[in-house]
Structures are given as structure tokens and as C-alpha cells.
A and B are shown apart, each in its own frame.
Chain A
Amino acid sequence: MKLFTSVMTNKHNLAAMWNTIKIAFWVTICGTLMGLFYAWLLGRSDIPCKGLMRALFHIPYMFPPFIGAMAWDILFSGRGGYLNTWLMKTFNLPRAPFNINSLGGIIFVEISYFFPFVFMQVVSALERMDPTLEESARIAGASQGTVIRKITLPLVTPAISAGALLILISSLAHFGVPSILGFSKNIYTLPTMIYALISRSSGSFEGIRQGAALSIMLIAVVGIALIIQKKVLSSGGYDIIKGKSMRPTLIKLRGAKYPLLIISTLTLVIIVLMPLVTIFLVAMVRAYGLPLIPKNFTFKNYSKIFTSKATLDSIKNSLFLSVTAGLLCMFLGVMIAYVVNRIKPKGKGILELLSVLPYSIPGTVLAVGVILTWSGSLGINLYNTIWIILVAYLARYLSFSMESASASLQQVHSSLEEAARACGASHTESLIDITLPLIRPGMIAGFFLIFLPAMRELTTSVLLYGPYTRTLGVQVYSLREAGMIPQASALASVAIIIITICNALITEITKSRKGV
């Protein structure tokens, strides 16, 4: 208890908490506004190239934020970021115009990765919304502006608040961006402080204890956010999906069309393209700091990472962990979902809650918990083995597969299974011959839903890895920490390519999914 009070009153820890809250606050506000604006632009206006823009706006969602933060650090680091240097030279500035290693920088980068939460929620709400709800207001005499204010906005409010709270909770628990941008300037948030405490003490129990105490603080902050979420989400929710689907009347932007198109394109270039290009260019540069021109390009960084045992091991580890976690979660998810949805035993609520709960726990806290439980206190010591990471992944991602399995199970009407039973099949036979084949596409999609985030996972692995159990994310992170930025970029670009390919696969699979 004394430890707890000392941790609680420690000035650095309080500063970290304050930073966490400040960052989360601004990221939520700005991210929501940005998501809302682009959702409206793509969902309700006649801006051209919608399909392409929508696809591009999804990219930040699958792109690991810490790799983005790395790119921004390369471009706008207060000391010698590429663009900063260029701006200083071109405009003869005495000092760097931007400093990404600041609270503002962290907020900016987090916004660019978290705004899709609101964007996607609202776009889909706008799409599902019956356009006649808006049309009947027009007929009633309301102008376009009044319709947006009085009808459209109130109707998508549940979607907005759901997305905003997702941003809030993700930002509170986020590790990658503040750690990459903040450490050099001693800016800490709760998750990065926990990491710093534990890694500095190099696995000693004191560090873990302090980390655990701090975790409770983080849980408290996230818990408050979760309670707000529960309150807000249970109060809203209208049935806005009705009738035949019709093209909604698109708002003509007229004169504002091209300026808005330019703004959206610029946004996309800045938040999507620039970090991506930076990573790929820096991955090819001979030595960090040399100008990014073809003369300085080489493939040596790639050959280095593909010959380094540590790096190859990290790719292997990540593949092993992601595939295993994906498969295990998929089967566990189907089993739990089946039990909960079809057999409906007593106490299914607890089962449901237990499997969904870890999702709301910040990854850092989860990792601390896993360390405390599985490093001997239960008689099994998994610390420093790959299994402890696997346990953490399972806990973290099981809820994903639960949800996707539930969704696909609900699409298979139970009468299909009953028909099989009526034909003389046993319970197990009907499950194997009817239900499983029907939900197979859903299961495959569910697998990738875990495989993808697990491939780029950093938050928990960075606390759990041992000398031989680095993951892809950890390896990128430590290469960068060690100052080998071109190599880190090369490995990051490999990760991006893997993620992009898998993402293309998942889209293909879900597209060809048969309607049941």
C-alpha cells in the first residue's frame, strides 16, 4: 500500500497521467471532428473519386501507428528531421520550424491514425440511413443546412459517440506513438511510463511492482472512459435502416467542390502517403542523414536484415505467434460463440464477459498482468519464453474472434441445423456437416482479423519479449532505439508489405463470402 501511495504521488507519474489525459482529450476532439467531416464529405456530397478516397482513408487503420510515428520522427524530429532541415535551408530559418517530439506532435500523429474510427462508423451509419428520412424533412420545408442539423446529425449521433469513445480509449492505452516521439524529450504517458519502469529495472521485481501500481492508475482512467461509453451507448441507438435502398440525394458542392477535393487529397498525401514513402525511402538510404536521392540508395539494408539472425528470428517468431494465436482464437471463438448463441447454458453471460473483457484492458496493463501471473506465481514460469507472448495475444484477441464468430453464426439460421437433425443427423454431425461449412468464410476472415494486428503488435510484446523471443514489432522498435534507423525502416517496410498482402487477402475472402 505504501508503494501504491508513493507511486501515486510521484511527480513524474502524475505528469505522465496528466499527459495521457491531455493527449487523449485532444486526439478525441480533433479526431472526431476530422472523421465526421470526411465521413460527410464522402457519404453525402458529390465530391469526385469517392471510391479511391475511401480506400485510402482506410489505410491508417491497418498501418501500425508506431511505424508512422517513426516516419514522422524521421521527417520532423527537432534535431535534423529531413523536412525540418530542408525547410531551414530553403527559407533560411534559424531553427527547426516543427518539432514532432512534443505533446502537439504526439497528438497530431495519433489523430492521423485514430480518426478512421469515427470516419468508418459514421460513413456506414450514413450509408445505412434511409434517405427518405432526410427527404421528408426537405419536403416539410427545411433547407439543406437545417436538415443536416436537425435530422442527419441527431440520427448519426450514436455512431459518432461510439467512434469517439473508441478513439478515447485507444488513445489512453496507446503505447507506440508516445514512446517513439516522447522518450527523447522525456515526455511520458502512463503506458510508456509503465514500460520505462519495467524495462529500466531489467525485469527485477521492484520495477514490475511499480509498473503494476501504475497500471492500476491507467485502469482507473480507462475504466472511467469505459463507464462513460457504456452510459452513452445504452442511451442512444435508433432504427434508421428501413425500406428500399435508394441513392441518397447528394449535396452539390458547386464552387467548393475542387477546393475541398484538394484539401482531402492533401490530407491523404500528408497522413497516408508521406509516412509510407518516407519509410520506403529511408529503408534504401546508405546512411541515416544522407539526402534521399538515388545516388545514396542501396539495397544493403534489406540484405542486412535478411541475413541477420535476430531479425529473421523476429519475423519467424511473429509469424509463429500470429498464426498460432489466429488459429487458437478462431477455434476458441467459434466454440464460445456456439455455446453462447446456440446451447445457451446458464451463466453464459459470464463466459461472454470473460472473453470480451481483455479487449478493454490496455495492452500494457495486460502485459503486466501476464507477467505477474505466469512468472512462477502459478507454479509455471513462462517468463522470457515465447509462450508468455502467446498467452498475452490470446487474451488480447479472443474477443475479436468471438465477435466475428458470433456474427457469422447469427447469419446461419438455426433452422438449417434443425433440418439436419430432422434428417437423422446427431448434434455433432449437424454441427460438422452443416454449421461449420457455412461459417467457414467467417472463420477465415476471423483468423485474419487476429493475424493482422498480431503481426504488427508492439505494446504487449515489448514488455514480454526475451533475448530470443523478439517479435517483428519489437525488432523494428529496438533497431530504431539502437540508432539503426535505415534498417529499422527496411524491416518496417517488410512488415507493411506483409500486412498489405494479408489485407488484400481478407478483402477478397470477405467479398466472395456466400450469403446464407
Chain B
Amino acid sequence: MADQVVLRHVTKQFTTRTLGTITAVNDFNLTVYEGECFSFLGPSGCGKTTTLRLIAGFEDLTDGEIELCGRLVSSKEKNLYVPPEERGLGMVFQAFAVWPHMIVFDNVAFPLKIQGINKHDIQKKVKEALRNTSLDGFESAYPSDLSGGQQQRIALARAIVTNPKVMLLDEPLSNLDPKLRETMRFEIKELQRKFNFTVIFVTHDQSEAMAISDRMMVCDMGNIIQIDTPINLYNRPVNRFVHSFLGESTFINVIIQDGKVYAKGNMEQALDIPIPPDVDREMVIATRPNAIELTRNRGYKTRIEKRTFLPDITEYLVPMGDQLLKVQTPHRIKFTQGEECYINLVNPMWYPAEDKELETERLRRQLI
């Protein structure tokens, strides 16, 4: 697979009057391959949208370089900046951005008209783009007469009509209702398969990202935290942040003493898990509520504090040391409130103890 989008040491800084200089994107290095669906995932203020806008050319970078389909489009060193209209990309925005003063046909035909293509071909290509986005019949409607989902389809049709190699999607589904979101997700995937373009998809919705992506990048506070396939990101997150960002997490503060692991607040009963090399005295172990075993015979002895019956699972709150663990089981595993039980942690991840400063910085950035 050929490299399609390459970022080398890309950095973007903004200067704001109230907060001084903010590094929105800090030394990003990444390669997106041809035909790949690649997601940027992270909380707001993490730098994902800025990165996309750097690729699109709406922002000029502070340092580094960007290559699109083998062509250098932004480079600090060579003082090169190609404006967005010359980058040959397709892009879909969160707020649809369909032009309210043009009918559907003109919206979709706009990029072709700019290219100076003859009328006959425009007719043909627009028709096809509208058919591919199930919009046939709406050619002469104004966007304001259509629903949100249809408006987003116009934006999609407009983006695919020039047959671009790279498609940038900036949270394209977050203005739609949940049901429609799933359909559109599927349709985007279909279009990608059909036209074989490369997709870069920005989202803050983890399940959306996991469902659609071949690989994804999780970033936080302007830094790339991890780039990997959805499965690896879920099973082997590099830090607590990624762990809690993808799926539900249960964190347990533990103390290691005399080669044994104790949950904080209970130094009498050790946990039966192997200790990895290089651990501090205080650590955090992380697992998923559905990966904790709840039994009646062996493991860490405790009791059920609270039971909640939910649509697909039963959720228990179980004390461990001075903390309450959330445990999720299928309905067939039944415990009653107050009942004695044993829990086992299966293959937990180990992380250093909490870092308060990081949290403050994250909050500060979200305020921008």
C-alpha cells in the first residue's frame, strides 16, 4: 500500500490573548495508507480538528511538513503552502455546510463548474453522485427543504463528485440522530469500498471510530498518545487516558508490598495477580467491568454492595479496599444484594499512579 497522507514533525501553535501560546498540535508524525480508513479520536481540545484543518490547508503549520499523494503541500522548511483549493481533497463538515442559496444540483455541481468541465459531463457526474448518495429526485430542491440526514448526503455527494483520492470527514455524523448516524456510517463505508478513496475521519465518539476505522490515532492535549488498530487500542492501551477513553474502565489503586499486591485500604487480603517488572510501590491497575470474574468460590473475598439490573447486563458494585468496583455480568450470573462473593481480575493493565497535573491541563485546554 502506498503512503497517501504523511505528516512529519507537524506542529501548530496558536497565540491567544488570554492564554498565551497554545501548542494545539505537537510534533505529529503519522502515515495514512492508500484506501485506509483512519480516525482521529480524542476529547475536545486534543488537536484532532486542527490536524485535519492543517491537512486541508485551512491552517498553515508552525513547523514540520505534510505530504499528500506523494506531493509536498505544506512545509515550514521550504516555506511551502498550497491553498486548500489546490489540494484536490474531498471534505465533509460537521454542520453540513451546504450552500442555502443553491439548489441540490448546483451544490453538487459546484466543484465541477470550478474545474471548467462541460455541461454534459457535469450532468452525468452529478446524477451519479446523487444516485450514490440516494438523493435522486431531489436535484432541484433547496437544502433547507431537506432533512439533516439528506443535507449531509448533499455534502457527501459534493465531496465525492470530483472523485478525490483523500476524503476528510470532520465529525460528519455528530449533528445527526443516533439511528441515522449508524446508517450513514455504513453508507460512508460503502462509498469508500466502491470508490476506494482514503478516509480521514475526525470524531470524539469512540464506538463510531472503532466501527469505521482500520486504524486510529488517539490524541490528547496536542499530543499523539497511540496509533493502532481498534482491537489493539482496546486491549493494550498505552496509558490510563486511552484506557478510559475507549470503552468502560475500572481503575484500582494498589500498593505493592513484600511481593504482593494489595488494594488500597485493605492490607490484609492480597490480590492474586502476577506483578510485572519495574513497578513502583503505588500503582493503578486497569480492567473493564465486563472482564472481572464474579464467583462463589475463589479469588478476592468481598460482598455485593449494590445490584442494578440493566437491559443487557447486570451491574454490581463491589467494595475492594476503600474503593467500589463496577462489575458487569450477563444476567445468568445471579447474586443478591449483600451476598458474599469472590472476584478475579483477568489480565489487567498496569499504569503509574494518578497524575493530577495532567487533568488540570486538560481542563484548561477545553476552555479555549
| Residues of A bordering B, CB below 8 Å | 130, 132-133, 135-144, 146, 150-151, 154-155, 238-240, 242-244, 249
Q: Mark B141-185, 1 if CB is under 8 A from A, else 0.
A: 000100000000001001100100000100000010000000000
Chain B 224-242 residues near chain A, CB threshold 8 A: none
Known contacts A141-B115, A142-B110; decide if A132 and B93 are in contact (CB<8 Å). Answer: yes
Smallest CB gap from B110: residue in A: A140
Instruction: Check B58 against A135 for contact (C-beta < 8 Å).
Output: yes
26 sampled A-B residue pairs with Cβ under 8 A: A130-B95, A132-B94, A133-B99, A136-B98, A136-B158, A137-B99, A138-B58, A138-B83, A139-B56, A139-B84, A139-B91, A139-B168, A140-B110, A141-B85, A141-B86, A141-B111, A141-B114, A143-B83, A143-B85, A146-B114, A151-B99, A154-B101, A238-B100, A239-B100, A244-B94, A244-B95
In the assembled complex, how far is the CB of residue A11 from the closest CB belonging to chain B, in whole angstroms?
A: 47
B83 close to A136 (CB less than 8 A):
no
Chain B residue, CB-CB nearest to A252: B60
Instruction: Give the interface residue-count category, chain B.
Output: 20 to 34
Q: Write the residues of chain B forming the contact surface with A, with a CB cutoff of 8 angstroms.
A: 56-59, 83-91, 93-101, 110-111, 114-115, 144, 155, 158-159, 162, 168, 175
Task: Kindly provide the distance from the CB of A274 to the nearest chain B CB, expressed in whole angstroms.
Answer: 31
B interface secondary structure, majority: loop
Measured CB to CB, the closest approach of chain B to A139, in angstroms, equals 4
Q: Is the CB of A139 within 8 A of B110?
A: no
Q: Does the CB pair A135–B84 fall under 8 Å? A: yes
Asked if residues B85 and A243 are in contact (CB atoms below 8 Å), the reply is: no
B197 to chain A, nearest CB (A): 14
Contacts of A151 in B (CB 8 A): 99
Is B85 within 8 A of A139, CB to CB?
A: yes
Residues of A within 8 A of B57 (CB): 138
Count the A-B residue pairs with Cβ separation under 8 angstroms: how many? 81
CA distance A139 to B57 in the complex (A): 9
With A138-B83, A138-B85: A133-B97 Cβ-Cβ less than 8 Å: yes
Q: Judge whether B95 and A141 touch: CB under 8 Å.
A: no
Q: Are B101's CB and A132's CB within 8 A?
A: no
Looking at the assembled complex, report how far the CB atom of A270 sits from the nearest CB atom of chain B, in whole angstroms.
30
Chain B residues whose CB sits within 8 angstroms of the CB of A136 once the complex forms: 91, 93, 97-98, 155, 158
Which residues of chain B are near A133, meaning CB under 8 Å? 97, 99
Bound together, the chains give a CA A342 to CA B58 distance in angstroms of 46
Q: A139-B56, A143-B85 are in contact. Are A238 and B111 (CB under 8 A)?
A: no
Residues in A with CB closer than 8 Å to B114 are 140-142, 146
Q: Which residues of A contact B85 (CB under 8 A)?
A: 138-143
> Nearest Cβ distance between residue B86 and chain A, in whole angstroms?
8
A92 to chain B, nearest CB (A): 51
When C-beta atoms are compared, the residue in chain A nearest to B111 turns out to be: A140
B168 to chain A, nearest CB (A): 8
Asked if A130 and B97 make an inter-chain contact with CB atoms under 8 angstroms apart, the answer reads: yes
State A140–B56 Cα separation when bound (angstroms): 11
A140 and B144 CA atoms in complex are apart in Å by 21
Q: A136-B155, A139-B56 are in contact. Are A240 and B94 (CB under 8 A)?
A: no
Question: Which of the listed residues B58, B59, B94 has the most CB atoms from chain A within 10 Å of its own CB?
Answer: B58
Complex interface: chain B residues within 8 A of A244 (CB)? 94-95
